[in-house]
Structure 1
Amino acid sequence: MGHIKDSNLDQDIAIEQMQQAAMNIINELNKRQMPPHIVMPHLLTDVEKAKQVVIDDDVKISQLSKETGISEEILSDYRENPATLKKASNSTIERLITKYYEKYFNRKLQ
């Protein structure tokens, strides 16, 4: 531990002040980074993005089928029971995600 130079401060008082300063720093670092009223946003998984497109009533199954190459029957099944998307192939999910970005973000994916 260092020594106090050119000071009239008692060593015990100096140590107490340094400990208090260290505790203040530790308490500051332990605070939440975001205010408590701000909730972290929920990021959608790929399956949730695909589900969003499939269950959207504004999206016509026939048009979605033409644009994705996924049969109308399969898309209708996904719309009736979106939980079955969890068992869909990666290529099916990727095609639906592409439509998700096109529809909701007006963005074409390569």
Structure 2
Amino acid sequence: MKAHIPAAAYLTRRQKQIVREYDSNTQNENFTRYIKLSAVVLHTKFGFGHDRVADFLGAISAAAEAAEKDEIFWKHIDDAVIDEMKMPFDRENYEKVDK
């Protein structure tokens, strides 16, 4: 059985744009929260001060830029985290995630 979606239920271009902006803002806010959380953990657990946390933030920014340019960036990350550091993460489905 196929469902029929009435034309009135479709989103307009403006509505779609608003949804995309909201989603992007939410993602940015969540990312910022996790970066702040990482900074606090580095400070309280490992004694990082301003300069070392700033270096960490710079490295995260550089890695994010590299991720945009490298098609297999996340495979390299998985190799380092899962294979080298033996952390208990699942490998990503790169084709599915990057679409």
Same fold (TM over 0.5): no
Name whichever structure is richer in helix by fraction: 2
Higher relative contact order (CA 8 A, sep 6+): 1
Point out the structure with max Rg over C-alpha. Answer: 1
Structure 2 length-normalised TM: 0.28
Q: TM-score, normalised by structure 1?
A: 0.26
